[in-house]
Chains A and B, each alone.
Chain A
Amino acid sequence: MRVMDSVSGRYTCLNMNYLLLIMIHIGVGLHAVGGVWPMPQISASSPEQYPLNPEAFYFEYGRQSEAQPGCSVLDAAFKRYFSLIFPDYFPGANVRLQFSVNRPFTLEVSVDHDGCDGYPSQESSERYNLSVCAGQASLKAETVWGALRGLETFSQLVYQDDFGSFFVNKTDIEDFPRFQFRGILLDTSRHYLPVQAILKTLDAMAYSKFNVFHWHIVDDPSFPYQSQTFPDLSAKGAFHPMTHIYTQTDVQRVISYARLRGIRVLPEFDSPGHTQSWGKGQSDLLTPCYKGGTPSGAFGPVNPTLPSTYQFIARLFKEVSSVFPDSYIHLGGDEVNFFCWKSNPDVRAFMQKMGFGTDFTKLEAFYMESIVNITSTLNKTAIVWQDVFDYHERFQRRLQSVVEVWRGGCYLCEVRKATKAGLRVILAAPWYLDQPGPTHNWTPYYTVWPLAFKDS
């Protein structure tokens, strides 16, 4: 039922809230919107169905919308979602039949803030409202990123009957994410992942409204990131210096592909542990391990005692900060083995000088604090694995980084501790999808209660 809006001159559906009340009261077959994943916050639909004709389906920008044709994100999205909504449809040799145009359907998109040429951020609103009525749907969002979420939802509302005709039901949705940071971590160091595989993952992420691609790009086994400042890192540290690297072009491709899907790319350059591959192209970066009084030939974590280390990190991070537009950067800091540091006499001397005694957690904290400061001067916020917080809560609180909880056991205990200390927390512990078996079961991942810990 369409009612002319006297103010804007647009058609809007009859106020659904009013309708809702009536329907609930009468008990008409009101069912929650099935088939939309993740489930929207507030939704209602009715059995009233509207046919969709792929030859007369239009995306439009609302007159009041801040985003208009030329908005890269939405223009690309309209094209992409058309194919997703009408799979197998090709504008064919079929003659455009006259009467088909008489049943047009318009999806009108309105966005409050332009931001089309920008990148999604931690603070971006992803809220949207979607109303589907006869012949038209209205999608309103604060940002283009919210509009993308709404488009995905709309595409999930469309279905085909046994004859292959497309339909969408009368629906009203008000949606926003419960959590601002919803990410997937991929590891491209243990195995090189061709760019195609990363892009395909970004597509799948968009289908489930994930908004952060946590790119664990380098680690012990290989260093595939081709740095402009330090080309030897990948030349010597990648599995193969030509075939198993991410060039700057590759990286930009991933970032822009992600941006068009409202996905932030969060790079992780994990140190001081997990850095074996760094040492291949950057001599003197890693700590030489000692056996008795002589170097054993093996290397340990990054050497936190040399000024050259911090000069290197500063220059590398300067590049990383400009290459990756997100305002957050993941510094790692996990699983640091102190054995090598302990064995090295220079490190031990440094410990004495700094008054750390034999507490190597202080040395790690010293290193982490230094690199977090480096990232702050680059205007980025640091995310670290929980180890850093576990060692020195005090330092963490000073640095105000974000803590990512990954260790098993009582991970909620950890979440409670960190939030109590006033820090923001990302939860990963119950969602280690690389650890399967014995048979696949998705329910343990679903039945996680991230906020089920005591306290405010």
Chain B
Amino acid sequence: PRSTHSSIHPQRRRASEGGTTSWHLSNYQLVAQSSRYGSLWPLPQKVQLSDVSFKLTTSSFRIVDAKESSAGPSCKHLTFLNFSCHCVIFSTSTFVLWATSFEGNEYELTVNQPFAVLKAPKVWGALHGLETFSQLVYKDEFGTKNINQTTISDFPRFAHRGILLDSSRHFLPIKVILANLETMAMNKFNVFHWHIVDDQSFPYLSRTFPQLSQKGAYHPYTHVYTPADVKMVIEFARLRGIRVVPEYDTPGHTQSWGKGQADLLTPCYAGSKPSGAFGPVNPILNTTYDFMTQFFKEISTVFPDAYIHLGGDEVDFTCWKSNPDIQKFMEQQGFGQDYSKLESFYIQKLLNIVSTTNKGYMIWQEVFDNGVKLKPDTVVHVWIGGATDEEMHKVTGAGYTTILSAPWYLDYISYGQDWQKYYKVEPLSFNGTEEQKKLVIGGEACLWGEYVDATNLTPRLWPRASAVAERLWSAKDVTDISDAFNRLSAHRCRMVERDIPAEPLFSSYCPHEYKGV
């Protein structure tokens, strides 16, 4: 396609808000040009291109495990791939069943004729390398698949590259979750943060406490995740090198828990009588901690990841304050009127319970902000906008591993190319020492579900999340927004071609438009 000018400034046609339009020379057309890096996304650390091109045919493509490879035909990962150009020889030196938390995403890819060689220390790196390989293949004007002689040496800048989905505000059918995992893999995301329950609904079918979903889900049969469903998600993710980190957020965000577990939540009082409403988890009852012990024992066996996210955000103290038993307890404990001390009291006990399951935990930043005593390997999740740099400085200053989400709340939408603002975020831009910055292990793009369900999840999340993907994988100095636009446009069309309805960046077209409607 021919384009006249490459300016990223969007052509503002008719604006209803604000009263005036911005005038643009109608010459400013924005159709993506080709980048010298083709459609690689995220951009690998080291790419050596050449103009020498080789043709590929489907009939003589082979995947072969190299002799030195310790991953053989039994490695399930390598046989399920559904590329149309599945021909790579590779070797890996170790074979690992489960992705360990942070290692093994690097790979080396050399494309030559008649062999391409993909080397990776772990099978997860090999998966990333295969995705990159598929991105190097392009069609020439005769329709022939080509690939250029290339050498790539790649590894992620950050080890934790996640997407948060919320299946409580709206139930997300399994298919949607699986399709999203597929798209994540195409973008080299490696953590699925499953915010599975919250105030509105409890779709997780617990085998220890089946009443939780029986009473707390939107519908006890059609809007639940059975153990089989959960297993499917975990295995599907595993085959794509994606960890599944579940979040069971307490003590706030728990309205739906109380429907199937009487006495779990605090009864609120209006004056001297219960008002009928309930608040956060009741921190003063022993039954609460008995429940949590049994519940998290189950969770720790269902989800194989080394970490569980325990939430701990946005606890509203009003209900606690109104409850006379709690007031008495506060007195007894000497907390005075400081309810954040009560919150800490609860979280502390919860963290101790979870520790006994041998899992590490992630918590939202409030838990840190309120001075709770945390284990050294706690991961603190920074989400509050406004003073993010300060928070990062504080959290890393206190020695905690940190992940960043504050600038990447993708559930907030706006008119225009907002992917650029996600792309421009620099996670390490805060004041801190080298040691501090090393504690930032990555970040997550969050798609909270108040306004999201199966009808709009994919277009809303993609390709905006791709901007986050590159920011977390590629080198710090990959900031050329014009080149990013060109590559991302091509990458987005590729997602559409793979049947993923990723929304457009700007006025343009894809050779293969989305047909699904």
A interface with B by C-beta (< 8 Å): 189-192, 194, 196-197, 200, 220-222, 239-240, 243-244, 273-276, 289, 298-301, 334-335, 337, 339-340, 406-409, 428-432, 434-440
Contacts and interface: CB of A to CB of B under 8 A. Distances in A.
B29 interface: yes
A190 B507 contact: yes
B451 A408 contact: no
B515 A196 contact: yes
Contacts of B1: 239
17 contacts: A191-B504, A191-B507, A194-B515, A197-B517, A221-B508, A239-B508, A243-B513, A276-B26, A334-B14, A335-B14, A339-B25, A408-B17, A408-B18, A432-B17, A435-B16, A436-B414, A439-B450
Nearest to B513: A194
A439 B14 contact: no
A58 to B, nearest CB: 32
- Return the 3 tightest CB-CB contacts between A and B, nearest first: A409-B19, A239-B509, A432-B16
Interface in B1-32: 1, 4, 11, 13-21, 23-27, 29, 31
Contacts of B509: 191-192, 222, 239-240, 244
A36 to B, nearest CB: 22
Contacts of B387: none
B291 interface: no
Contacts of A240: 509, 511
A429 B508 contact: no
B26 A337 contact: yes
Contacts of A221: 29, 31, 507-508
Nearest to A193: B513
A192 B508 CA distance: 8
Given A191-B507, A191-B508, A194-B515, A437 B27 contact: no
Contacts of B15: 408, 432, 435
B33 to A, nearest CB: 14
A216 to B, nearest CB: 10
B25 A337 contact: yes
Contacts of B14: 334-335, 406-407, 432
B411 interface: yes
Given A221-B31, A438-B414, 14 more contacts: A220-B507, A221-B29, A240-B509, A243-B513, A300-B25, A407-B16, A407-B20, A430-B16, A434-B415, A435-B17, A436-B415, A438-B413, A439-B412, A439-B450
A197 B504 CA distance: 15
B507 A407 contact: no
B415 A439 contact: no
Contact of B11 (A220, A222, A439): A220
Contacts of A430: 16
A405 to B, nearest CB: 10
Given A196-B515, A196-B517, A439 B25 contact: no
Given A194-B517, A243-B511, A439 B451 contact: yes
Contacts of A289: 27
Contacts of B515: 194, 196
Interface centre among A239, A299, A429 (most CB of B within 10 A): A239
Interface in B491-517: 504, 507-509, 511, 513-515, 517
Contacts of A244: 509, 513
A200 to B, nearest CB: 5
A243 B493 CA distance: 15
Given A335-B14, A339-B25, A429-B16, A438 B508 contact: no
Contacts of B414: 436-438
B182 to A, nearest CB: 23
B300 to A, nearest CB: 35
B413 A436 contact: yes
A335 B11 CA distance: 12
Nearest to B4: A298
Interface residues of B, number: 35
Nearest to A299: B27
Contacts of B21: 335, 407
Contacts of A438: 412-414
Contact of A298 (B13, B25, B513): B25
A442 to B, nearest CB: 11
B28 to A, nearest CB: 9
Nearest to A335: B21
B449 to A, nearest CB: 11
Contacts of B413: 436-440
Interface in B313-371: none
A243 B515 CA distance: 12
A196 B517 CA distance: 7
Contacts of A407: 14, 16, 19-21
Contacts of A429: 16
A94 to B, nearest CB: 25
B26 A440 contact: no
A314 B18 CA distance: 37
A408 B16 contact: yes
B484 to A, nearest CB: 20
Contacts of B27: 276, 289, 298-299
Contacts of A334: 14
A437 B517 contact: no
A406 B16 contact: yes
A430 B14 CA distance: 12
Contacts of A274: 13, 26
Contacts of A194: 513-515, 517
Nearest to B24: A337
Nearest to A198: B517
Nearest to A238: B509
Interface in B384-423: 411-415
B4 to A, nearest CB: 8
Nearest to A428: B16
B412 A437 contact: yes
Interface centre among B11, B504, B514, B517 (most CB of A within 10 A): B517
Interface in B21-77: 21, 23-27, 29, 31
A408 B517 contact: no
Contacts of A434: 415
Contacts of A340: 25
Contact of A220 (B26, B451, B504): B26
Nearest to A296: B27
Contacts of B23: 335, 337
B452 to A, nearest CB: 9
A240 B15 CA distance: 28
Contacts of A339: 25
A407 B12 CA distance: 13
A437 B415 contact: yes
Contacts of A431: 16
A222 B19 CA distance: 27
Contacts of B508: 191, 221, 239
A222 B29 CA distance: 10
Contacts of A191: 504, 507-509
Nearest to A280: B2
Contacts of A275: 26
Nearest to B450: A439
Given A220-B26, A436-B414, A438-B414, A335 B13 contact: yes
A180 B393 CA distance: 61
Contacts of A435: 15-17, 415
A439 B23 CA distance: 27
Nearest to B27: A298
Nearest to B515: A194
Interface centre among B14, B20, B414, B511 (most CB of A within 10 A): B14
Contacts of B507: 189-191, 220-222
